[in-house]
Amino acid sequence: MIVKHWDELTPVEVYVLARLRTEVFLREQGCTEEELDWRDLEATTEHYLLPAEEDAAPGETAGHPALAAYLRVLTDPDAEGDGLVIGRVVTDPAHRGKGLASRLLAAVIERHGDEPLLLHAQVYAAGLYAKAGFAPVGEEFDEAGIPHITMVRPA
């Protein structure tokens, strides 16, 4: 697991995280909103990267570097509790069903568990976040053409 701020990421890490997010959010899910929103570059944004080789069987990875899963954590003064917002949670289709998103969430909670955390969950994935201690707040809403619900994990 790699945790870095934007200015610490290598060009290859930037490329593979942008590629994964583009492949899943734009191509697979058909999101209607801009994927690269400039929030990645903010000094306080944390990028959690799980390289594919950390999820592969010995000898399984070859060729170009890739990510198995990724998420980012934003500092957002408009968030409930003046806290942190988890977003862009994504797992490469070839690595799904292995608990990688849960590993990323656990790393965020280990680092920031004493702070309130907020996220906008795709409705179908709300159970994943509930297992990590997040509870739904409010009604479902449309974000980028996909049903979402706000979820909060208290400090």
Q: Note the pLDDT tens digit of each residue in 52-63.
A: 876 654 444 455
Cα distance from N-terminal residue to C-terminal residue, the chain: 23
Helices then strands, each counted (H, E), the chain: 3, 7
Q: Say what the pTM is.
A: 0.85
| Whole-number pLDDT of residue 84 | 94
Model confidence at 129: pLDDT above 80: yes
d(CA 87, CA 81): 17
Q: What is the pLDDT of residues 86-111, one digit of tens each?
A: 989 999 998 999 999 999 999 999 99
| Whole-number pLDDT of residue 58 | 44
Higher pLDDT, 49 or 37: 49
Band of pLDDT at residue 83, cut at 50, 70 and 90? confident
| Whole-number pLDDT of residue 26 | 66
What is residue 28's DSSP assignment? I
Higher pLDDT, 81 or 102: 102
Taking residue 14's Cβ as centre, other Cβ atoms within 10 Å add up to 13
Into how many domains does the chain fold?
Answer: 1
Structural domain that includes position 102: 2-153
| Whole-number pLDDT of residue 145 | 81
Which string of DSSP letters, residue by residue, matches 91-127? E-GGGTTSSHHHHHHHHHHHHHTTS-EEEEEEGGGHH
Higher pLDDT, 83 or 140: 140
Model confidence at 113: pLDDT above 50: yes
CATH number at residue 99: 3.40.630.30
Amino acid, res. 39: R
Q: What is the pLDDT of residues 3-14, one digit of tens each?
A: 999 999 999 899
